[in-house]
Amino acid sequence: QAEDGNIEYKLKLVNPSQYRFEHLVTQMKWRLQEGRGEAVYQIGVEDNGLLVGLSEEEMRASLKTLRRMAEKVGADITVLREREVDYDSDVPRKITEVLVRKVPDNQQFLDLRVAVLGNVDSGKSTLLGVLTQGELDNGRGRARLNLFRHLHEIQSGRTSSISFEILGFNSKGEVVNYSDSRTAEEICESSSKMITFIDLAGHHKYLKTTIFGLTSYCPDFAMLVVSANTGIAGTTREHLGLAMALKVPFFIVISKVDLCSKATVERTVKQLERILKQPGCNKLPLLVNSDDDAVTAAQQFAQSP
């Protein structure tokens, strides 16, 4: 197990002594510091990564200890996923992954910045509008209207400036957005983690604006939005190249899948996989189809330099 990083393997945490408990709390503080306020505990896993698993009773006791540890440091815990493992035992055994989150003392909330990239008309602003407003689009661009800053943007439906949208999460991982709160201040007050989306222009004419947004706001991640019906077109390659050149970890969202046949979506996915595997890009794509895949992908992001 790596000394650095925010992932901690624990076989079990059943009735530790006071000295051991204090040591575990100190260890949790270190992992939280490494993960900038977030740590992932994998219960039922040996230090060498072997999936041993625990019985129901041992797991319950271990999670109880973990909650005590979290309370001691002022953190919240959320169970990410549970998995049964095949081990030499008649009793069913499982491992549990738990997210521990603590807002640093000098901050009001954890903050992540995500730059939104993609070709014009790929649905970037609409996607952000749906995420932050909590309402689906009406098919005619209503969701994106709140993101536009200028009259010509509303008239053309194209982003030409840099705009910011926020999406909050409370300590239990539940979404806090404008559907519950009226103002950005209310979202900030109710959230323990905040994602700031930097909506950038997709049109080639505004490429300088996009580069300015990527370089000046130092995003933690980039979200490349690709339309399923057009695939890799226009400025998609340039935006992908910019993210890679600036060493910004990125993930790809395929939009407008409801407008296309399954074959068209699969063709776009294959096209993306081919480009990502090419020399120069040299990435190993992970297709996210479930919550389980999302947790795995998020952990890979956390471990990326």
Q: Among 37, 30, 8, which Cα is nearest to 193's?
A: 37
Per-residue pLDDT band at 303 (split at 50, 70, 90): low
Q: Which of 14-18, 91-95, 98-102, 202-206 has the lowest mean pLDDT?
A: 202-206
Q: Among 165, 161, 244, which Cα is nearest to 206's?
A: 161
Alpha helices for 35-123 (secondary structure H) = 56-73
Neighbour count for residue 45 (Cβ, 10 Å): 24
Mean per-residue pLDDT of the chain: 83
State the fold for domain 7-101: Translation Initiation Factor IF3 (3.30.110)
Q: Which residue has the higher pLDDT, 186 or 160?
A: 186
What type of residue is 245? A
Count of CA atoms in the C-beta half-sphere (13 A) of 126: 21
Delimit the domains of the chain by residue range.
Answer: 7-101, 110-294
- Distance set, CA 268 to CA 74, 125, 156 (Å): 45, 20, 26
Per-residue pLDDT band at 98 (split at 50, 70, 90): very high
Q: What is the mean pLDDT of residues 224-253?
A: 88
Residue 254: strand pairing partners: 226
Based on the number of CB atoms within 10 Å of its own CB, is 288 exposed (0-12), middle (13-18) or buried (19 or more)?
A: middle
Correct CATH for 110-294 of 3.40.50.720, 1.20.1250.20, 3.40.50.10380, 3.40.50.300: 3.40.50.300
